[in-house]
Structure 1
């Protein structure tokens, strides 16, 4: 799974990395402890124009489908399982047309043994942000009038798959890390999103996952750069094809 991450890369750096054409006027501040329902930056391509415009936007981390009567879901939606995302009503519509990239500087994962949970920080071995496969959805608040700017809420989720290489020894799940050659097709709203597309990017992500590294950190509390101080040696993920 992916339940906490950090994003410290600046908006201009993300805009350059992802060839952003429109940058939202308000984006989240850097954070070393992003939690579900926090505001996060996402990359998407708007369907309102042809050709589509690539945008850097702010979204609530926990996808809420358009049909939901409330912003708070009955179950967790900050992650979506890649194996079944095409079957789930919560995510199926977003998969079809509104796919996103969630850029992260790295993410936390916990190894559980008995009642002890040990946190690790996972990041790229070259220091660049990770491009995680995501979905987004615009949720309309039915209690607000049509002219209220808060009526529409942009929400997002991160896809997860089976853990690769040494990461499988920490947790059985990990986010889907998109290689650069998949960015355009994943974001293109004119490409019909289905389970076959997800399966293809998951397969492509295996090699991208091999470029990850991780190390143990202290309990993840608060929000400061000190959370990334290592408590153990850095290890490379590696992978098996």
Structure 2
């Protein structure tokens, strides 16, 4: 699973590289981001004139489908299992029509052993962000405004990441983002798109190091949380 993020890199720095037309995400460095917080997503949407634009938007982490009676349902939907995402009512509309990419500095995972739980920081090599496959939804709030929410797609862990946890996010290679977020993909072709997306995941593109246990408390939020420990 993926339940805590490192959001210390400004994704707007990738505006040219990702061909972003609109940036609607206000960056502030955060090092210990839990579900329920706001995170950036890269989406492609049509404007009122039918023109397609690539946008960096802000979304609440935890998917709230349009039919939900209460926003709290999102707290149980911050991850979506790739094995069941096509069938589950919570996700089946979003996977077919509203796919996104989440650019993040990294994420934390906990390894369980006889000595207790050891947190790890997972990140891409160098200073590049990781890109995760996600879904997004719109939910009309009681005041009439719209909440944008998102979830991170997960799969069985592979490679060295399986030494830490049995689940991992579905990582997107940079040249795969276009295919994943393309809203023009027909509904009947989405299962093939999902299969191809899972096949391109490369766990070797992710590095990891142990970090201190202070990250376990969501009230802690400082650069020291991502520093390696022996």
Q: Residue 106 of structure 1 contacts residue 121 of structure 1 at CA under 8 Å; is this kept in 2?
A: yes
Task: Count residues in correspondence.
Answer: 223
Question: Separation in 1 of the partners of 2:151 and 2:46?
Answer: 19
1:231 is displaced (CA, Å) by: 1.1
- Give TM-score, length-normalised by structure 1: 0.87
In the alignment, which residue of structure 2 is the partner of 1:102?
A: 102
User: Within the alignment, does 1:4 sit opposite 2:4 as a pair?
Assistant: yes
In the alignment, which residue of structure 1 is the partner of 2:196?
A: 200
Counterpart secondary structure, 1:167: helix
1:11 is displaced (CA, Å) by: 4.3
1:112 is displaced (CA, Å) by: 1.2
Question: Separation in 1 of the partners of 2:54 and 2:28?
Answer: 21
Q: Residue 42 of structure 2 contacts residue 102 of structure 2 at CA under 8 Å; is this kept in 1?
A: yes
Q: Residue 41 of structure 1 contacts residue 59 of structure 1 at CA under 8 Å; is this kept in 2?
A: yes
Q: What root-mean-square deviation, in Å, do the aligned CA atoms of Structure 1 and Structure 2 show?
A: 1.7
Once the two structures are superposed, residues 40-82 of structure 1 have per-residue CA deviations (whole angstroms, 9 ceiling, x without a partner) of 0111011335442000011000000011011111861000011
Question: Separation in 2 of the partners of 1:212 and 1:229?
Answer: 16
Question: Separation in 2 of the partners of 1:99 and 1:46?
Answer: 11
Flag structure 1 segments of 5+ consecutive residues without an equivalent. 146-150, 233-241
Question: Separation in 1 of the partners of 2:96 and 2:191?
Answer: 9
In the alignment, which residue of structure 2 is the partner of 1:160?
A: 154
Once the two structures are superposed, residues 108-166 of structure 1 have per-residue CA deviations (whole angstroms, 9 ceiling, x without a partner) of 0101125711100011123200110000001112x324xxxxx2100000001111111
1:83 is displaced (CA, Å) by: 1.2
Q: Residue 85 of structure 1 contacts residue 195 of structure 1 at CA under 8 Å; is this kept in 2?
A: no
In the alignment, which residue of structure 1 is the partner of 2:224?
A: 226
1:167 is displaced (CA, Å) by: 1.0
Question: Separation in 2 of the partners of 1:161 and 1:17?
Answer: 27
Flag structure 2 segments of 5+ consecutive residues without an equivalent. none
